[in-house]
């Protein structure tokens, strides 16, 4: 059962919700362009000494909004798939015996979808399975043994590659489906001690990018791909503490990530998906690509 966020985020007060609030209020084009009209169009520039600043803020907010809108349309190939009905969909969740995968499986099952959970961990409850398809041994390249390296790469990269390969032919034939890949910030900023994990997540990002382009070439424009680039999240994979500022880089709650994933899936299924699910909007323009729906969360995993 996922927890409901209160007035503050589950992680407490940090920079992301403040930035989001500003983007939706004071930095929204409707507000900034309205201020620009009052200052310039209504001839109030004589009493307002910051006309150039107002022009700069209004222009920036408009182009950011336009970039968001065009990027969302491009990622979805400028088409809408209105055939989604959760009661008729079959959802496969890997790594679903707990953590993020379990939360996603629970939420989708509650929405009426038929959920299949694949995991090597025994199920802890029925009928919804909670799993998390990710593995990290936390050893250096020299210290790690061959079997640990192989199972990490197989679990984090080869398994999602081959599983997607099994379902893709039918998705392409029906021009309907959604493949959601969960990666990590360590693919971009790999710390010492998790080289195999970081390499597998970097490979998963490349796989997601290539897949999105192949679907366009095969004219399966309504088959979606999504990519979550996660940071430190409080799951069985990581239960410790970070040395980073909680305001800038909070330790994410599992339900926050679950909400983002389910909202992404549901956003594409219920109507035009015009929203990038980004927990850290400051990273959005660096990590988001035109080939898929990408959302990031703070810090690296």
**Quick count: other Cβ atoms within 10 Å of Cβ 192?**
8
Contact 106, 2 (CB under 8 A): yes
201 belongs to the catalytic site: yes
**If one looks up domain 86-296 in CATH, what number appears?**
3.40.50.720
Q: How far apart (Å, rounded) are the C-alpha atoms in residues 282 and 99?
A: 26
Find the catalytic residue in 43, 87, 201, 234: 201
Find the catalytic residue in 4, 14, 87, 197: 197
Model pLDDT, residue 6: 62
197 belongs to the catalytic site: yes
Model pLDDT, residue 268: 56
What stretches of the chain adopt beta strand conformation (E)? 90-96, 114-118, 131-132, 177-184, 223-230, 293-296
Per-residue pLDDT of the chain (301 residues; tens, 9 = 90+): 555 666 667 666 777 778 778 888 888 888 888 888 887 766 655 555 677 888 888 889 999 889 888 887 877 778 777 777 777 777 777 766 566 777 777 777 777 777 777 765 554 433 222 224 667 777 888 988 899 999 999 999 998 898 888 888 888 888 888 888 888 888 888 888 889 999 999 999 999 899 999 999 999 888 888 888 877 776 666 555 666 666 666 777 777 777 877 777 777 544 433 333 333 333 443 344 333 444 444 322 2
Model pLDDT, residue 275: 32
**Quick count: other Cβ atoms within 10 Å of Cβ 277?**
20
């Amino acid at each position: 059962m996922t927890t409901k966020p209160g007035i503050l985020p589950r992680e407490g007060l940090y920079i992301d919700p403040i930035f989001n609030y500003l983007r939706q209020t004071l930095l929204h084009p409707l507000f900034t362009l309205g201020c620009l009209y009052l200052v310039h169009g209504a001839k109030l520039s004589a009493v307002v000494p910051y006309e150039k600043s107002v022009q700069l803020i209004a222009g920036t907010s408009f182009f950011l909004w336009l970039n968001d809108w065009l990027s969302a349309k491009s990622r979805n190939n400028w088409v809408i798939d209105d055939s989604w009905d959760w009661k008729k969909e079959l959802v496969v969740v890997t790594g679903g015996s707990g953590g993020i995968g379990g939360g996603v499986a629970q939420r989708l099952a509650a929405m009426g979808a038929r959920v299949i959970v694949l995991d090597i961990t025994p199920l802890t409850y029925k009928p919804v399975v909670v799993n998390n398809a990710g593995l990290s041994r936390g050893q250096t390249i020299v210290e790690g043994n061959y079997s640990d390296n192989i199972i990490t790469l197989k679990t984090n990269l080869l398994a999602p590659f081959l599983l997607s390969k099994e379902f893709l032919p039918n998705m392409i034939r029906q021009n309907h489906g959604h493949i959601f890949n969960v990666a990590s910030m360590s693919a971009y900023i790999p710390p010492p001690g998790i080289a195999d994990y970081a390499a597998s997540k970097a490979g998963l990002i490349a796989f997601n990018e290539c897949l999105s382009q192949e679907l366009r070439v095969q004219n399966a424009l309504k088959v979606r791909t999504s990519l979550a680039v996660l940071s430190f999240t409080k799951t069985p994979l990581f239960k410790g503490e970070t040395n980073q500022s909680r305001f800038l880089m909070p330790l994410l709650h599992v339900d926050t990530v679950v909400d983002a994933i389910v909202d992404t899936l549901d956003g594409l299924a219920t109507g035009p998906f015009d929203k990038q699910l980004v927990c850290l909007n400051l990273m959005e323009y660096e990590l988001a690509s035109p080939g898929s729906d990408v959302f990031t969360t703070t810090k690296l995993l």
